[in-house]
Structure 1
Amino acid sequence: MARFVVVVLDGFGIGEMPDVAETRPQDRGANTAVKLLDHFPLKRLPTLEKLGLINITGLTRSVMQPSVQANWGTAKLAHHGCDTFMGHQEIMGTLPKPPMVRPFQESIDDIEQALLQGGYSTERITRDALQLLMVNRCVVIGDNLEADLGQVYNLTANFNLISFEEVKKIGHVVRSANAVSRNIAFGGFIPSMARVFDAIEIKKDQQGKPAYIGVNAPDSGAYDEGFEVVHLGYGVNAQTQVPHHLHQVGVHTYLYGKVADIVQNDTGTSYTSVVDTDQVFALLLSDLNTAQGFFCANIQETDLSGHQQDPKRYWQVLEKADRGLAAVIDTLAPNDVLIVMADHGNDPFIGHTKHTREQVPLMVYSPGITGVQVGYRNTLADIGASAATFFGANPPESGCSLLAPLKHEEKEPHSF
């Protein structure tokens, strides 16, 4: 058995999707990778350069150049919007379905009733006739303001007042009482709840009326110290995804970082609540040195840097990831495959703190295979389909394998 490795640089998009003008006009002109390359023209990411980043972006002001050795392509988002949760479900082979859009105001009554029945105390926080829900005076629930509005609810907690384990229990109660695509329960050691209250914001709907209320996650202080998170999804059938199908043929799945928080992997190994980039790569490298199977790691700090509109931090995380990828490549044997990609964009220059709806890069590495264009793919699910093909498992719900054009330089068949 060989190894199939996927590293997702969360939010590292390569240019707006064709439908942006109609579906997300606020993302016009988004291009996370190109803008970062132009902003740091004298800096290099040597591993990503060799893997074909400039082949994908085209020439920029950067000193980095295309690589004749690279195997590369691109992929569009098949899911609506640009959500990390649905992006990773799509990578695992899910056929995305139109999401429910429901402002927190329309769910607050059901959620509050479920919490009261669960023995929790609740209070409502009102701003301009819109309401948030506070639980046990230390967890604030409302709309997620960084994802597509109305599709995700956040639970922002102060770990000085409550444990993460208890926050997860509250999260499951909330999850049981609403049907939007994702609920996110997270927090950190925030100096005071006043910091959370000060980060409350209101967003308008398409008619210009105040409709969404939530806590601005970066401003809340939750990311600053001791950040932990769990993502609770709705309507995703894990029985159609890659981890399940691989288990049926005896292949173990390893998940690292945010992907472990949001993809069901009951029969595999999941390293949840790992955010630090170096730690994600350390865990991945440890397993690659001792195990075989399917490995998928999410580098979340790129995405967090985009949310904070911080290009300098974004580039620093990319440099860490570049070093980690070099170490991963050093572990790979001739029959192994590495795919480096993203799940959407998060342009730190766009002028808002939400994800940007962008296409994503596909950089494919396998020792001895060079100069292959793997195509312009229509869905991230092609990655999951490729992993299933690689291991001889049943295909997932969606996607087509991209492995067919990959051959050795000497034209011998590759033993996929």
Structure 2
Amino acid sequence: MARFIVVVLDGFGVGEMPDVPVVRPQDTGASTAEKLLNHFPLKELPTLEKLGLINVVGETKSVMEANPDANWGQAWLAHEGGDTFMGHQEIMGTLPKPPVVLPFQQSIDAIEQALLKNNYQVSRLGKPGLQVLIVNDCVVVGDNLEADLGQVYNLTANFSQISFDQVKQIGQVVRSANGVGRNIAFGGFVDSMRQILNAIETKADPNGEVKYIGVNAPDSGTYDNGFQVLHLGYGVDAATQVPQKLNEVGIHTYLYGKVADIVQNETGTSYLSVVDTERVFELMHQDLQQQTTGFFCANIQETDLSGHLQDPRQYWKILEKSDKGLEQVISLMENDDVLVVMADHGNDPFIGHTRHTREQVPLLVYHKHTQGVEVGTRTTLADVGASVTAFFGAGLPVSGSSFLSLIK
């Protein structure tokens, strides 16, 4: 048997989706990869260049060039907005449903009652009608301010005062009491809870009404020391996704980084809460050296974090680390293995806001004996998942069309 490898460069989009002017005007002009290449015109990413990055992005100021031997294309987002959680569910073959949009204030009463029922100490902070919850004096529950507003709630914790296992238990209670698409329980070792509280901000809806309140995660200090995270999804049927479909035919799934935190993989191997780019690749390289078959999928989260920080220089450093990691992945590939390098949305560090950008994503496909193939513009990220199951002769997921016949 052979191996199918997917590496997701989180937030590395290649230009706004066609519907952006109507559904997300704040993302007009977004083009993460192109702007980074233009900002660092003399810097190179030799592996991504070989894989066809310039083929996808088109003309730039970069010294890098298109590769006529590359196999390449791009994919649209079938899910609304530009969300990491739904992006990865889509990659795994899920048919995205319209998200529930519900400001935290509309869920705060039910969440508070659920926490009190489970014997947690709960208080409120803020003005009436615009408040966060403080749980056991060390966890802040409120709106996620980085993703699409109203679709995600955050639990931001100080691990100097509470363990991650305890935070996960609180997260399960919060999850049970609301219907938005995702709840994120995370934290890090912070000197003082005051740093997290000082990072509480409010945001307005498109009409200018201030309706959202939560912790600005990059400013909270939780990313800086001992960061750990758990993503708690709603309404995703794991039985229709790639890991379960592969398990039915005896194929093992290995997940690395953020994808391991957000995709259910009960019968496979998941490396949870791994953020460091070099560590993600190190784990993948170790498994590729030992395993001759299987599905291997890694998420490189630090590109996305750099976008949230609006830090192009840091973003490029992570791309350079990823380029080296991909070079070693290719060196470990056998004749029949397939590699797909892609993204899940955009996160343009030049756009002027700190949220994800709704962008198309690259599809860079490597197979030792296939050259110069254009896989076209795919209408959903789920085409990757469908290609994975087709590769192993498994049943197709609920969404997506395989492009495997173009490659093999």
Task: Tell me the TM-score normalized by structure 1.
Answer: 0.97
- 2:116 & 2:320 partners in 1: Cα distance? 47
| Partner SS, residue 232 of structure 2 | strand
Identity %: 69
Post-superposition offset of 1:191: 1.5
- 1:371 & 1:286 partners in 2: Cα distance? 30
- 2:30 & 2:207 partners in 1: Cα distance? 24
Q: Does 1:405 align with 2:406?
A: yes
Post-superposition offset of 1:128: 7.0
Q: Does 1:258 align with 2:258?
A: yes
Q: Does 1:359 align with 2:354?
A: no
- 2:315 & 2:128 partners in 1: Cα distance? 35
Aligned match of 1:65: 65
Post-superposition offset of 1:403: 1.1
Structure 2 counterpart of 1:288, one-letter code? L
Q: Does 1:140 align with 2:154?
A: no
Aligned match of 2:310: 309
Post-superposition offset of 1:197: 1.2
| Partner SS, residue 331 of structure 2 | helix
| Contact kept in structure 1, 2:105 and 2:129, CA below 8 Å | no
| Contact kept in structure 1, 2:49 and 2:64, CA below 8 Å | yes
Aligned match of 2:382: 381
- 2:306 & 2:225 partners in 1: Cα distance? 15
Post-superposition offset of 1:68: 1.2
- 1:189 & 1:128 partners in 2: Cα distance? 30
- 1:217 & 1:318 partners in 2: Cα distance? 22
Aligned match of 2:347: 346
| Partner SS, residue 281 of structure 1 | helix
- 1:206 & 1:369 partners in 2: Cα distance? 47
| Partner SS, residue 289 of structure 1 | helix
Q: How does 1:171-186 map to 2 (within 5 A)?
A: 171-186=171-186
Structure 2 counterpart of 1:159, one-letter code? F
Aligned match of 1:337: 338
Structure 2 counterpart of 1:208, one-letter code? G
Q: Residues 273-332 of structure 1, C-alpha deviation per residue, up to 9 Å, x if partnerless?
A: 000000000000100111120010000000000000000000000000000000000011
Post-superposition offset of 1:59: 1.6
Residue segments in structure 2 that go unaligned for 5+ positions in a row: none
Using a 3 Å threshold, how does the CA distance of structure 1 residues 167 and 243 change in structure 2: closer, same or farther?
same
- 2:362 & 2:370 partners in 1: Cα distance? 18
Structure 2 counterpart of 1:309, one-letter code? Q
Q: Residues 350-370 of structure 1, C-alpha deviation per residue, up to 9 Å, x if partnerless?
A: 000000000000000011211
Structure 1 counterpart of 2:93, one-letter code? G
| Partner SS, residue 322 of structure 1 | helix
| Partner SS, residue 298 of structure 2 | strand
Aligned match of 1:267: 267
Structure 2 counterpart of 1:395, one-letter code? L
Post-superposition offset of 1:380: 0.1
Aligned match of 1:411: none
Aligned match of 2:287: 287
Q: Residues 171-203 of structure 1, C-alpha deviation per residue, up to 9 Å, x if partnerless?
A: 011001111000000001112111111111111
Q: Does 1:35 align with 2:35?
A: yes
Post-superposition offset of 1:129: 4.0
Structure 2 counterpart of 1:62, one-letter code? S
| Partner SS, residue 404 of structure 1 | helix
Q: Residues 130-171 of structure 1, C-alpha deviation per residue, up to 9 Å, x if partnerless?
A: 000000000000000000000000000001100111101100
| Contact kept in structure 1, 2:251 and 2:294, CA below 8 Å | yes
| Partner SS, residue 332 of structure 1 | coil
- 2:164 & 2:82 partners in 1: Cα distance? 27
Q: How many residues align?
A: 407
* RMSD between aligned residues: 0.7
| Contact kept in structure 1, 2:240 and 2:397, CA below 8 Å | yes
Post-superposition offset of 1:396: 0.1
Structure 1 counterpart of 2:355, one-letter code? K
- 2:233 & 2:342 partners in 1: Cα distance? 22
- 2:129 & 2:176 partners in 1: Cα distance? 26
- 1:190 & 1:297 partners in 2: Cα distance? 28
Residue segments in structure 1 that go unaligned for 5+ positions in a row: 407-413
Aligned match of 1:237: 237
- 1:203 & 1:146 partners in 2: Cα distance? 10
- 1:56 & 1:327 partners in 2: Cα distance? 22
- 2:211 & 2:103 partners in 1: Cα distance? 7
Post-superposition offset of 1:405: 1.4
